[in-house]
A and B are shown apart, each in its own frame.
Chain A
Amino acid sequence: MSAESSPSPPGAPSVRATPREPLLSLRGISKSFGAVAALTDVALDVAAGEVVALVGDNGAGKSTLVKVLSGVHRPDAGTVRFDGRAVTVPSPGAAQRLGIATVFQDLALCENLNVVENLFLGREMRRLRLDEVAMEVRSRALLGELSAKIPSVRTPVAALSGGQRQTVAIARSLLGDPKVIILDEPTAALGVAQTAEVLRLIERLRERGLGILMVSHDMADVRAVADTVAVLRLGRNNGVFDAVGTTAADLVAAITGATDDLVVRRPGRSRGGSAAGTAEATREGEAS
């Protein structure tokens, strides 16, 4: 797409402590549905080669934020910067053209179609005389790069396990050559082995230099794979944590607001909004 691509070389692993120009940067995002303020002044940064986990209780605004980023909802206020430019995301198609791919929780795969047919659904090669060979070669190569364990690319998706389906859905989002991938609850409803499979896949995506925003409920998964954890509470930022060195209890406290009282929470909130990426300052505010 653009010439000045991702700041990190593809091989470089995570870069959690180094502050740098993020690939995707949100500031002051607000979104209301009628009288309900779903998001208020939310900030978020995702850098290339970084896994950011977005956590929060039910109704905290995670889904709304994901939908804003994927072009389903338009924010009422705030700016989105992507790859160094201010952008708007008016539609899902616009998000994909920018290079933001979203894998929703229900995966949106057609169970009666096989893996290749699903990967290329809606963007078949040679529309009037399908180029099955090229599509199959590309599918195999892509799944091979992801070290995916799929029995055969001609297996109907209905015959795949939950983890394999997640892999297919992620692989499909990669076909558009995105720079940022948003994963909505990628490990929900998966068994232990399948969860491990998906987490390994997320690490491989990070190694490819993609920025990853992962919405999750599962603190163990978050701490296993994320570099940074952004907490939403009641539609506002409630702290950004370095995943290493943060306990699950800290995160749960930030998510539920259980340990803070009104006096502490108020300044904590406003600070969380501006201090993305520099986790420590916020954490001190939270932890007291």
Chain B
Amino acid sequence: MTKPAVAADQDGAGGGARKVPGRGSGAVRDRRRAVSGRLRGGELGLLPVLAGLVVIWVVMQILNPVFLSSANLTNLALESVPSGIIALGVVCVLLVGQIDLSVGSVSGLGAAVLAVLFVDRGLPAWVAAGAALALAGVIGWLYAQVHHRIGVPSFVITLGGLLGFLGVQLWLLGPKGSINLPFDSGLVTFAQLQFLPPWAAYTLVVVGAAALYATGAARAGERRRAGLDAASRQFLAGRSLALLAGLGAAVWYLNRDRGVGWMFVFFLALVLALHYVLSRTSFGRSMYAVGGGREAARRAGVKVRAVLTTAFVLCATLACLGGMLSAARLAAANQSSGGGDVNLNAIAAAVIGGTSLFGGRGSAFAALLGVLVIQSISSGLTLLNLDSAYRFMVTGGVLLLAVSLDAVARRSRVSHGRA
């Protein structure tokens, strides 16, 4: 079953039925009522995006039977990674109630810096990548400083950054405008050719399901010992088995083609890491607090400026990382790296995944699911031989739908006295 409660900012124990030792059934009833009330009150969590993903996949499969083939899904997974990583950064800035419109330009700049240092200057790949990431970090820091000290809204600062860093990218690439990355470099093989051997992929699935059960059971045990309501063993086991079956089937299906790319595993690891930070650390808690009420967070002793700065730095760094992987996948950095629809796809992915534009709501999984939606549309329409004109129109429509859903949910929260 899916978890309707937003996993990131709730206690993480999930929404299903629970057992309450020694406290009667009142707490269970409370919990159920809380969950259904939350749904009606506009706390939609990840439900709409999951439903949307299923609808898109069914429609695309009907339109073109190639869509759900192993080969296409393998490709789809790899294609999702660069935009998905950029979307993770966008989730961070949206959570604290800001926005970064320059993620596309910063990702293109990252690709250009990587290519110039790695190919033209002949530096080792990790030095080039490190330099690009450091530059992106400085860019994020700069945004935050302008925001704090001069008080310019992040919307405008990053709009300036969108143009400015596109200029820097073009200047760096020089008159030739394109730098090819060598095909035998580690970067390119990582992004194009490296797939998990089947045994490793299945091992990861089993480890993941076991870890989900182990952490869930440990937390439930701790809660039970403290006399709080906790998830039942059946629920935890069912959840882990569902994950095991789902991921196992996915791996089996992808393994009929090339398999699961290392780059996709890397993306999943980033999603899980950000999820941990957002839901289990005081820093993540303060990000939600700053997005939900900046003044309240400041009064509670949250260092608002530090949180905002970190969010901007995280966003720019992740954008740069996504841009470098995109260049590696293409085996080139050129003038259109990070241009076109990269910017808006990343922001759209975060919003479609359920991150609120109004701040304080969302999770790391929003980036994962949102980017799958965006890439599915893109891949499906490409398979239909429709050019990018239609792709833009459909993606725009889906984005509008997602934003409307966010606004309607917010209004529903207001009318239920929850916002």
Q: A residues bordering B, Cβ < 8 Å?
A: 92-93, 104, 106-114, 117-118, 121-124, 127-130, 132-134, 136-137, 140, 151-152, 154-156, 158-159, 172
Contacts and interface: CB of A to CB of B under 8 A. Distances in A.
B150 interface: no
Contacts of B222: 133
B10 A114 contact: yes
Interface stretch (B236-244, B246-254, B291-299): B291-299
A121 B290 CA distance: 11
Nearest to B418: A158
Given A112-B361, A129-B281, A136 B228 contact: yes
Contacts of B283: 127
Interface in B392-419: 413, 416-419
Contacts of A155: 34
Interface of B: 9-12, 30-31, 34, 41, 43, 219, 222-223, 226-228, 280-283, 285-286, 288-289, 291-293, 295-297, 299-302, 360-361, 413, 416-419
A130 B281 contact: yes
B122 to A, nearest CB: 40
B285 to A, nearest CB: 6
21 contacts: A104-B299, A108-B296, A108-B300, A110-B288, A110-B289, A111-B292, A112-B288, A112-B361, A117-B288, A121-B285, A122-B286, A122-B300, A127-B282, A127-B283, A129-B280, A132-B219, A133-B226, A137-B228, A151-B30, A152-B30, A154-B11
A124 B34 CA distance: 24
**Residue of B293, B417, B419 with most partner-chain A CB within 10 A:** B293
Contact of A113 (B292, B295, B419): B292
B231 to A, nearest CB: 13
Nearest to A134: B226
Given A113-B292, A124-B285, A108 B299 contact: yes
A130 B285 contact: yes
A110 B296 contact: yes
Contacts of A107: 296
A92 B301 CA distance: 9
Contact of B9 (A92, A112, A121, A123): A112
Contacts of B228: 133, 136-137, 140
A158 B417 contact: yes
Nearest to B414: A158
Given A110-B293, A136-B223, 11 more contacts: A113-B285, A113-B288, A117-B288, A117-B289, A121-B296, A127-B282, A129-B281, A130-B281, A137-B228, A140-B228, A155-B34
B419 A158 contact: yes
A113 B11 contact: no
A159 B41 contact: yes
A184 to B, nearest CB: 12
Contacts of B291: 112
The 3 closest A-B pairs by CB, nearest first: A122-B301, A112-B292, A124-B282
Contacts of A137: 226-228
B286 A121 contact: yes
A151 B41 CA distance: 16
B285 A154 contact: no
Given A108-B299, A111-B292, A122-B286, A128 B226 contact: no
Contacts of B280: 129-130
B9 A158 contact: no
A133 B223 contact: yes
A136 B413 CA distance: 25
Nearest to A155: B34
Nearest to B289: A110
A271 B106 CA distance: 69
Contacts of B418: 111, 156, 158-159
A118 B31 CA distance: 19
Contacts of B419: 111, 158
**Residue of A104, A107, A110, A172 with most partner-chain B CB within 10 A:** A110
A213 to B, nearest CB: 18
A129 B12 CA distance: 13
A158 B227 contact: no
Given A111-B419, A133-B226, A121 B289 contact: yes
Given A133-B228, A159-B41, A121 B361 contact: no
Contact of B10 (A109, A124, A154): A154
A110 B96 CA distance: 12
Contacts of B43: 156
Nearest to B361: A112
A158 B360 contact: no
Contact of A154 (B34, B282, B286, B295): B34
B11 A136 contact: yes
B297 A132 contact: no
Contacts of B288: 110, 112-113, 117
A173 to B, nearest CB: 11
**Residue of B12, B285, B417 with most partner-chain A CB within 10 A:** B285
A113 B413 contact: no
A93 B302 CA distance: 12
Nearest to A137: B226
Contacts of A121: 285-286, 289, 296-297, 300-302
Contacts of B297: 110, 121-122
A83 B328 CA distance: 67
B41 A117 contact: no
A122 B282 CA distance: 8
Contacts of A124: 282, 285
Contacts of B31: 152
A109 B299 CA distance: 9
Contacts of A104: 299
A170 to B, nearest CB: 14
B86 to A, nearest CB: 25
Contacts of A140: 228
Nearest to A107: B296
A124 B416 CA distance: 29
A132 B8 CA distance: 13
A76 B288 CA distance: 38
B242 to A, nearest CB: 24
A2 to B, nearest CB: 23
Contacts of B219: 132-133
A134 to B, nearest CB: 8
Nearest to B10: A154
Contacts of A133: 219, 222-223, 226, 228
Nearest to B301: A122
